[in-house]
Structure 1
Amino acid sequence: MNKYLYLFLIGSMILPCASITPSQALTPSGEWKLKDQSPWAKDYSMRIDVDPGESYNDSGYAPSSVYWAEYVTFNDANGGYLGLQRAGGKKLAIVSIWDGLEAKSDALPVADCYEYEKCTSIKGEYNWKVGHQYRFRVEESPRSPSDTEGDWWQISLADTTIGTVDILGEIKTPKWKGLNNANRVFLEYFWWPYQCNTLRHSKTTMGQIKGNYGLNDQLTSSSAYTYGTADVCDAQYTLPDMTASDYGSTSTYNKGTLTLTGNKYRGIHKWGNYQQQAKAGMMFALDPNSAEPYIYEALHDGVYGAFPDQGKDNTDWKSIGIGYPIINDLYFRNQRVYEWEERKNNYVKIGDFFIYHNKYNKDTEYFKLTKTDPGYFPTDKSNGNGWEYVGRYSKNDEALTYNIPVHTWNATNRSGKKGELYYYPKTKMYFILKNTGDYWYFPETETDNTWWQFAGYYP
């Protein structure tokens, strides 16, 4: 993200012109403003609904390089941004602050940072999951005291779907009078070629900012918009009656959340649109807005007929399945999403994607095959038995959650999962369990020990 574009956005409600955009693709965006100031703690939430996918030998296409980001603004400075990324297919988490003073690593390492001028950053690989809900928190650090030079900020990332949290690290800033009550978000493609047929499809849901550890949530304003260069779709790829809203990028606001959708050309189109014509490789469904649409891939350019039965192909269509969250991987692997019963078939390869309708939590989940003759799918959103857990299908109108369960000491069963949050009533402190397994006593002071990492005084 270009710093000068950022300065322009923060200081103006007018959409920016193309001459200052950081890329040549339309950027879905939006903003909120809290009614009350909350200078020492802010919560930011997001869910990646469609993953741009892994890296493939895909010459002619843009690599899987998408940034889902939230601005971190201060009262006396422009601050920076944080978020999740696919960068060349790698999954990352990142926090960068312009004019920061120094940084400390934790779950993320300290990274070199220079974007048009000096910045301070923690950045590294982070195995986020499609369909999971995440809450970033920026708070005055309970672990590193501020001083006359500046303030230390602790940044944590909670996976509210599975109930775990990581402290990503800390960044020190000058005395900027705390966090501002306004916030903006964006979905950015940051690698070319910026064309409708080359960029991967992506979709994310962003929840409104909250202040004071979730207690301040009343807004005075909110909006959705896009900025940047208009999406490009050459005539050879467009179809009759197709508009920019069919192939481009959009931002919509509904009930306190923003839905940012990138490059809809590689998303799902409705059967019957465009005078019943398609381009080879485009994805279609009877109702793309249904809860879990069954997808078919067009096999040729031109007029098409009816879909075959699910799981079957015909001269016009190839079955892809219920695979919208992983639609990019299915496209580049040239596979439909497989079912459990197919795991031993000779057409299945290591690395292929499978669907699991989890009867225990009612989620539709996705796994990647890691060995031949695997066992059954793990039921707790984990890896194992020859499977790598990929993520889940987010439900329509599923509310974003900001909190994770808080556990207490259990003398009869002193065992827990890495990343779980615990409360110690005696000191009113919160601790994160360092490793899965048995644990022992909490520290009595603001320190860590073999089992516990001190997290602060708020859940």
Structure 2
Amino acid sequence: MDIGAFLKNLKFAALGIALISPAAWGLTTTPSGGFVLNKGNNASIDFSFQVQSDPGSKSYVFWAQQFWFESGPGGYLGLQRVGQTKKIIFSIWDAKASLASMPGAIAEPFGGEGEGQHVLAAFDWQVGHTYRFRLENVGGAGPWWQVSVTDVDTKGQWVLGRIQALPGWGNLQRNVTTFTEVFVNGERCENIPYARGAFYAPVADGGLGVTASITPRTYGNFSAPCSLLQVSGAKDGINVGTRSDKVDSAIVHQIGLSNGPQNWDDYDRKGKIGSIYKYQNPYTQKTEYFKLQWVDAGGRYGYFPIDGTNNAYWQYLGTTEPSYNGI
């Protein structure tokens, strides 16, 4: 899929033209959502991300936040899984110049149905770490807009690079859009690996701008119908498609629900061997994970062990959330 064309379409979604659904879940390709700050004309915005479940080294997934200039086009920034390589990226449409700062980063024009400049680099982001991207006006002719990245957990800091805006575009609008895109092999919902990412409420101008509203959405259609009769359930018994949920002050996106964490008793206890189930153990007050390893002649499984062991149906995986796709 051409990323320029995809993001140009998302531009209209951000403006409220019916490419998105207000539903937090759907038989849709792309979880999305929006933040609205309490002020515009922002000289800087901090965008924060956390990948909570990695789709694995055979996947191509982009966790992105999108911004807009007051009197110009927009751009996007975020984290990517590109097969075995993890990346960060920062792009602005219709820009004419860019400079890389991080060692190994590339600054170059991009094309397709959308044109502009981007800066990207290999970046070994870690599951469970929060990364804060600061997009700020650093002056000069244009002016130039710079992205720096902070690992909130380790305090590591990097300057990715900068892109030159055109005169008259102004500062940044109050509207921010989120999306999680599967940009290779995302046509069939059952084949998409499970992944989960959190997008935290943005802050502008050193705290003068705060998030005033949060709206989860999903949009996009699969090229083939999703099977609704799979014997594997995900959160709330929804086993296909995507989710976008408001969780406290964040938007949490899930893709590949049919391959993600399952719930006991979904689909009349008919399960798929190898599926991973999440169990809130009331006896130990722990969150535990089990892999289904056997079903009876009717295709059904039995109860979880309550003491952190295996039984005929279940392999105990521990209390740390496992990878659902292999890394």
The TM-score normalised by the length of structure 1 is 0.62
Are residue 121 (structure 1) and residue 100 (structure 2) matched?
no
What per-residue deviation string (whole Å, max 9, x for no partner) do you get for residues 91-138 of structure 1?
110111111111111113214522423220111210111101111111
Are residue 188 (structure 1) and residue 181 (structure 2) matched?
yes
Post-superposition shift, 1:183? Answer: 0.6
Whole-angstrom CA distance in 1 between matches of 2:158 and 2:235: 44
Are residue 10 (structure 1) and residue 3 (structure 2) matched?
no
Whole-angstrom CA distance in 2 between matches of 1:42 and 1:241: 34
Q: Percent identity?
A: 26
Are residue 276 (structure 1) and residue 269 (structure 2) matched?
yes
Letter in structure 2 aligned against 1:296? F
Partner of 1:40: 43
Post-superposition shift, 1:310? Answer: 6.3
Partner of 2:24: none
Partner of 1:154: 146
SS in 2 for 1:6: helix
1:259 to 240, 247, 252: 252
Post-superposition shift, 1:272? Answer: 2.1
Letter in structure 1 aligned against 2:178? V
Whole-angstrom CA distance in 2 between matches of 1:291 and 1:172: 53
Post-superposition shift, 1:241? Answer: 11
Are residue 177 (structure 1) and residue 180 (structure 2) matched?
no
SS in 1 for 2:35: strand
Given that 1:71 and 1:183 are in contact with CA atoms closer than 8 Å, whether structure 2 keeps it comes out as yes
Where does 1:56-455 land on structure 2 (aligned, <5 Å)?
Answer: 63-107=58-102, 108-141=105-138, 145-147=139-141, 150-175=142-167, 176-192=169-185, 194-219=187-212, 221-229=213-221, 233-234=226-227, 237-238=230-231, 245-287=238-280, 293-300=287-294, 302-308=299-305, 312-324=309-321, 326-329=323-326
The TM-score normalised by the length of structure 2 is 0.85
Whole-angstrom CA distance in 2 between matches of 1:269 and 1:8: 35
Letter in structure 2 aligned against 1:74? F
- Which structure is larger by alpha-carbon Rg, 1 or 2? 1
Whole-angstrom CA distance in 2 between matches of 1:52 and 1:242: 17
What per-residue deviation string (whole Å, max 9, x for no partner) do you get for residues 274-311 of structure 1?
21110122111223999962211223562112234766
Letter in structure 1 aligned against 2:146? Q
What per-residue deviation string (whole Å, max 9, x for no partner) do you get for residues 303-362 of structure 1?
112234766544432333334263332xx7xxxxxxxxxxxxxxxxxxxxxxxxxxxxxx
SS in 1 for 2:206: coil
Whole-angstrom CA distance in 2 between matches of 1:34 and 1:241: 32
Distance of aligned partners of 1:99 and 1:300 in 2 relative to their CA distance in 1, 3 Å threshold: farther
Instruction: Give the root-mean-square deviation of aligned CA atoms.
Output: 2.9
Post-superposition shift, 1:71? Answer: 0.1
Letter in structure 1 aligned against 2:291? E
Structure 2: gaps of 5 or more residues? 22-26
SS in 1 for 2:185: coil
Letter in structure 2 aligned against 1:90? T
SS in 2 for 1:268: coil
Whole-angstrom CA distance in 2 between matches of 1:254 and 1:243: 15
Whole-angstrom CA distance in 2 between matches of 1:240 and 1:292: 21
- How many residues are matched? 310
Whole-angstrom CA distance in 1 between matches of 2:177 and 2:210: 15
Whole-angstrom CA distance in 2 between matches of 1:80 and 1:287: 41
Post-superposition shift, 1:240? Answer: 8.9
Structure 1: gaps of 5 or more residues? 18-23, 55-62, 333-459
Mean CA deviation greater in 98-107 or 1-10: 1-10
Higher strand share: 2
What per-residue deviation string (whole Å, max 9, x for no partner) do you get for residues 136-155 of structure 1?
111012xxx422xx210111
Whole-angstrom CA distance in 1 between matches of 2:65 and 2:315: 38
What per-residue deviation string (whole Å, max 9, x for no partner) do you get for residues 365-423 of structure 1?
xxxxxxxxxxxxxxxxxxxxxxxxxxxxxxxxxxxxxxxxxxxxxxxxxxxxxxxxxxx
Whole-angstrom CA distance in 1 between matches of 2:108 and 2:230: 40
Higher relative contact order (CA 8 A, sep 6+): 2
What per-residue deviation string (whole Å, max 9, x for no partner) do you get for residues 224-267 of structure 1?
11011169543663459998833321111133211111122222
Post-superposition shift, 1:6? Answer: 2.1
